[in-house]
């Protein structure tokens, strides 16, 4: 399914999103609706003749600009900070379009939020999203999955309502709960299970481990992502911890052998930080010398008696100094 993400056509009009970093939710001859899964998008549009097209981007970066050739333009309208609409005049043939904030390639420090495991607390997710939006200078949210409980249409509809309360994009891989009923729903709405992108000189790889294992078809892509990010800060996120840091709940990968091989791969790839979910609490530890955090505080049933409850992390990478400056916890239920 991953190979079809970001590709669509309508009669003699075609679109392809480079690396599948956006899902094509709808397409006609005059309008294309996308859900972005990365801060910057590269689009290839092909048309037999000239046409005027409206590009509607949900989950876009608030300051996103559209560039076609040497021309740059601001959104025609922006109903929400993360809902960008561009009207574009296309020439006949193939057009290359970039959509990104102006500073996305400038290597400088920034901050993002990390969280996971909303599930049955979706009706209260607005409280978590409001807390994130109140933090200054957070560029986007990275999620390690289990956004929903069962993956029903009703749950996804509620998620789409709640996430509109965020003033920044919400990028996510999947957890085991998105795979409960029909995994194709995620593809149709949001696109890839596993994404890799670069923002301000920092590499992000958030990969699908929804069945407590990595899809074998992901191995080649992950190897390339690790090689590409070896000389930069590289942040790796996935739903299941490779190993349960407590060791008594069986809350890690189903195969310790696979987890060990992946951990060696991450260490050789010089990954700087690993972020996990699945466990509904907060843990800080190391795996193979790589700093690791479990942050499963999106609101799903919390671990009993730990007093952690809902929370998220604020991560502050600095590509200039080539280090993670800080990782802070923000409690929602204090």
Please list the residue range(s) of the chain that carry CATH number 2.60.40: 2-100
pLDDT for residue 52 is more than 70 = yes
Contact assessment for residue 140 and residue 100, using Cβ atoms and an 8 Å cutoff: no
- What secondary structure letter does DSSP report for 113? E
Residue-level pLDDT at 304: 83
Which whole number is the average pLDDT over 208-217? Answer: 91
pTM of the model: 0.96
Residue-level pLDDT at 271: 98
Q: What is the pLDDT of residues 304-326, one digit of tens each?
A: 888 899 999 999 999 999 999 99
Collapsing DSSP to helix, strand or coil, 299 comes out as: coil
Q: 293 to each of 32, 148, 261, 283, how far by Cα in Å? A: 38, 21, 19, 6
Which whole number is the average pLDDT over 146-172? Answer: 94
Which whole number is the average pLDDT over 46-52? Answer: 94
pLDDT for residue 297 is more than 90 = yes
Which whole number is the average pLDDT over 133-150? Answer: 96
Note every long-range contact of 157-160, with CB atoms under 8 Å and residues 24 or more positions apart, other chains counting: 158/122, 158/123, 159/118, 159/122, 159/125, 160/189
pLDDT for residue 1 is more than 70 = no
What CATH homologous superfamily does 111-331 map to?
Answer: Metallo-dependent phosphatases (3.60.21.10)
Strand order in the sheet with 170-172: 170-172, 138-143, 111-115, 311-318, 323-331
Residue-level pLDDT at 127: 95
pLDDT for residue 130 is more than 70 = yes
For residue 258, is it left (φ>0), alpha (ψ between -120 and 50) or beta? alpha
Q: Other C-beta atoms within 10 Å of 218: how many? A: 17
Burial of residue 2, with CB atoms counted within 10 A of its CB: 0-12 exposed, 13-18 middle, 19 or more buried: middle
Q: What is the mean pLDDT of the chain?
A: 94
pLDDT for residue 2 is more than 80 = no
Q: Which of 2-6, 43-47, 262-266, 317-321 has the lowest mean pLDDT?
A: 2-6
Residue-level pLDDT at 180: 81
The band of 215, judged by pLDDT with boundaries at 50, 70 and 90, is confident
Percent pLDDT > 90 in the chain is: 88
DSSP β-ladder status, 77-80 and 83-90: antiparallel
d(CA 172, CA 38): 9
Question: Tokens at residue 146, please?
Answer: 């289990």
Name the architecture of domain 2-100. Sandwich (2.60)
For residue 212, is it left (φ>0), alpha (ψ between -120 and 50) or beta? left
Residue-level pLDDT at 69: 86
Please list the residue range(s) of the chain that carry CATH number 3.60.21.10: 111-331
């Amino acid at each position: 399914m991953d190979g079809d993400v970001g590709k669509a056509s309508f009669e003699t009009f075609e679109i392809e999103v480079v690396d599948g970093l956006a899902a094509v939710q709808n397409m006609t001859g005059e309008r294309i609706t996308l859900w972005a899964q990365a801060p910057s998008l590269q689009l290839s549009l092909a048309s037999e003749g000239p046409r005027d097209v409206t590009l509607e981007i949900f989950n876009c970066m608030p300051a996103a600009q559209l560039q076609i050739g040497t021309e740059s333009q601001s959104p025609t309208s922006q109903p929400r900070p993360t809902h960008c609409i561009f009207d574009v005049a296309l020439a006949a043939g193939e057009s290359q379009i970039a959509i990104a904030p102006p500073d996305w390639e400038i290597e400088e420090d920034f901050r993002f939020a990390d969280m996971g495991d909303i599930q049955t607390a979706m009706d209260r997710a607005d409280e978590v999203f409001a807390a994130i939006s109140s933090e200054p200078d957070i560029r986007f949210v990275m999620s390690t999955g289990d956004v929903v409980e069962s993956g029903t249409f009703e749950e996804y509809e509620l998620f789409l309502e709640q996430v509109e309360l965020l003033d920044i994009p919400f990028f996510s891989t999947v957890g085991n709960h998105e795979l409960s009923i029909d995994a194709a729903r995620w593809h149709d709405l949001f696109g890839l299970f596993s994404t890799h992108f670069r923002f301000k000189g920092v590499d992000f790889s958030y990969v699908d481990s929804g069945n407590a294992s990595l899809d074998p078809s992901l191995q080649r892509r992950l190897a390339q992502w690790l090689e590409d990010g070896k000389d930069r800060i590289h942040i790796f996120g996935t739903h299941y911890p490779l190993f349960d840091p407590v060791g008594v709940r069986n809350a890690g990968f189903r195969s310790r052998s696979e987890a060990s091989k992946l951990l060696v791969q991450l260490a050789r790839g010089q990954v700087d930080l690993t972020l996990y979910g699945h466990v509904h609490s907060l843990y800080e530890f190391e795996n193979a010398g790589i700093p690791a955090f479990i942050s499963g505080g999106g609101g799903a049933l919390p671990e009993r008696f730990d007093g952690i409850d809902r929370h998220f992390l604020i991560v502050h990478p600095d590509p200039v100094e080539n280090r993670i400056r800080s990782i802070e916890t923000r409690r929602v239920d204090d």
